[in-house]
Chain A
């Protein structure tokens, strides 16, 4: 079900033949039409599904599970983004014959932990990412690269035979991979903030930086902002994930709108085409809202948190720069 350029596809393509199972290849068209996806899966007697939660939410919404109840489905695995508890509850109610497994793993490592949802898993509860797969070692470390105590938050490091050798065309640096222990696979810093329970089960607490996931695809907000800001007529832009987590929205400032806030916003359709030719589809902003200006933090950086809050809640409040104070000091 995952496209071949998405590392989730490797599990289906390699593990299924190892287990003596057949792989049913779904076209991209099927994944865009949930009712066709369930129709084909039901007809083929598919026993395992492995996909991203946002597609599963679409299946619940428009997947026609009444007529295509996936009665052969034994196991439903999901990965790539945080599973919303409400979606999981609804799926478990609609597919009571299947087990549910949360899988975690950055593309740099591929799958590295998993957690089978117990039958008595309470509703409205998030899923931990679970315990390591065979051959995987985990560490949870603080900012000084020291292991933290169970229950404390830290960055997750992974060592596994599947850790990448490096990024294409780039020499691995210490910030990518740490070859500390000779003879064992290197450690990869995931950038994910986690905490380990006393029994070793890992809970996920978010990303360290501004990388986000939208519909299972990891995006750099800064890269999207760079494209929008580069467009004619745009002075500045902040990309945010929409409140429902399903798309990218952009709050931008038009170059021509001066202190008088003149109505000189660029043509939205043209701006969207600009983005569409330069960004992958999932990164193309679903909406672009023009604001008179963007708020800044005391150090002069754009205040992303304020932009996000304005976008999610209260657009009636005019966004304005922070009150002018002493010039920012320091380099950060």
Chain B
């Protein structure tokens, strides 16, 4: 199967590979997929508590080239977006940008799931720290 030049570029020069500290209250982590399905994505966002903007995003992916490219692209897009803007990213946007063939659409779905899971994790952390009354961070406003 021929990959698009954008998929190849992300595979060869993946953006934002790495990990953020999981325990940081401003970091949300999403881990989706399963090894037996052939793809697992870990996507992390770090939110600036005062602005609600995603300052940093990192990923690690076990999967085919399209899965790596989908998550790499997702981290690129996440940086600079507010949490709500991030939730508006659709898998079809990724499909279009990377020219994914039909058999690789599940890779983009997984990337969208990873974004949603990372943000859900971040929100959960914020809520629980608010409940504890130990909230030293402003809630994201956007």
**A in complex with B:** no
Give me the interface of B with A, judged by CB distance under 8 Å: none
